[in-house]
Amino acid sequence: MKSRPYVAIHEVIAKSILRKQKKIESWFLSSYGMNLYRGCAHNCVYCDGRSEKYQVDGEFGCDVTVKINAVDVLRRELERIKKRSPQPSGYIMVGGGVGDSYQPVEQTYQLTRKTLKLLSDHEFPIHILTKSILVQRDIDLITTINKKRKALVSFSFSTVDDTISERLEPGVPPPSKRLETIATLTDAGIPCGIFLLPIIPFISDSPQRIEESIQQAKKHGVEFIVFGGMTLKEGKQKDYFYALLEQYYPELLTEYNIIYRGDTWGNATKEYYDSIRRTFDLLRKKYHMPCRIPPHLYDDLVTENDRVIVILEHIDYLLKLQRRKSPYGYAAYSISRLSTPLSSMTGDLQQIKGVGRVTERLIREILTTGRCSYYETLLFGR
């Protein structure tokens, strides 16, 4: 299966660029996101942007929409935000969603570069998520933003094996090149992470392959790896992926039918996800690799409530990895509904729904020291 040689570009006038999130996003540490392109010529065979759910115009991988007025719209939005108090907590997320900000069309339009310049002028911290080595072109701007506030660059991988990637990700540079770019960025003092996501069942999910990914990440200076399994929604996404299986891995069709049973969200069975998460968790502990963005990469960017929310959500994830019960996700959600800073609340924090005695103790430690020793033990696998 090869990427189509021709990509049709559709220019549109956008009404808005920034997308405000309801609460801080603890995977990305962002409170705003933005996409300058819709659709993606990288055309990864597993991309869920292909699913009908996202209503991307045209044929995914062949049609790309460009928001040609993005810079003017973003300038107005940033100026408005700059006048507000308090300022946004966390990063502004550049990319992700249903289009890579550094896909080939960026070479022509340079919208990502121009918007980074704006974000730099207005001194907003940024978190870029991409699969492209074109990000290296903007190392000057990213370095400047990193010095003024903070910049974080994350790369997504489904494997670090170049041969497998050539089949699954026909439009992106091989993982070996992405790893070289990570080394270049980290050498320039820009922190980098990996979203090892999605891991492809029976193709890139063996303990050996996962360990190889962690080793390579470590070797190239990556500071964290966020891990996740693949979803396959019924319809275009699943049909496209199955065509690849029939071509290259026909012997795997039966196993795929066992784990993908038509779930509404495209999820594989819980047993399958649990098994790969456990494998990853054991291996990442062996290498002391955090599986969420560690606090030193966002410490000075978030409000105290958001710091508590993020840490509690991370603890919730880490405990569930170990198949343990956790009250922390619910407590984090309740705190996200508060309009007052936790430190200004008088009396008992147990009046907040989901906050019990132990959770209150953790929150107080975070409020007093900015840290949580229980969390750090879980996160760094010490």
Residues of this chain that bind ligand SF4 (CB under 6 A): 40, 42-44, 47, 49, 98-100, 131
Tell me how far, at minimum, the Cβ of 132 lies from ligand SF4, in Å.
Answer: 8
Q: Closest by alpha carbon to 193, among 146, 148, 128? A: 128
Please state, in angstroms and rounded to a whole number, the distance separating the CA atoms of residues 224 and 381. Answer: 12
Shortest Cβ 231–ligand SF4 spacing (Å) = 12
- The Cα–Cα gap between 35 and 17 comes to 7
Q: d(Cα 153, Cα 155) in Å, to the nearest integer?
A: 7
Minimum distance from residue 84 beta carbon to ligand SF4 (Å): 31
Kindly tell me the number of DSSP H helices and DSSP E strands found in the chain.
14, 10
Smaller CB separation from ligand SF4, 4 or 76:
4
**CA 325 – CA 321 distance, rounded (Å):** 10
Which residue's CB is nearer to ligand SF4, number 99 or number 193? 99
Q: How far is the CB of 377 from ligand SF4 (least distance, A)?
A: 33
Whichever of 40 and 141 has its CB closer to ligand SF4, that residue is 40
- Cα distance between the two ends of the chain: 43
Q: Give residue 43's region: left, alpha or beta (phi > 0; psi -120 to 50).
A: left
Q: Which is nearer to ligand SF4, 91 or 240 (CB)?
A: 240
- Pick between residue 4 and residue 288 the one whose CB is nearest to ligand SF4: 4
Least separation in angstroms between CB 59 and ligand SF4: 13
- Residue 175, preceding bond cis, omega within 30 degrees? no
- In the bound complex, what is the minimum distance in angstroms from residue 226's beta carbon to ligand SF4? 14
Residue 93, C-beta contacts closer than 8 angstroms, at least 6 positions apart: 25, 28, 30, 32, 33, 34, 126, 127, 129
97 or 125: CB nearest ligand SF4: 97
Cβ atoms of 93 and 75 within 8 Å: the answer is no
Helix (H) or strand (E) holding 24: strand 18-25
Distance of closest approach, residue 45 Cβ to ligand SF4, in angstroms: 9
- Comparing CB distances to ligand SF4, the nearer of 100 and 106 is 100
DSSP calls for 261-290: ---TT----HHHHHHHHHHHHHHHHHTT--
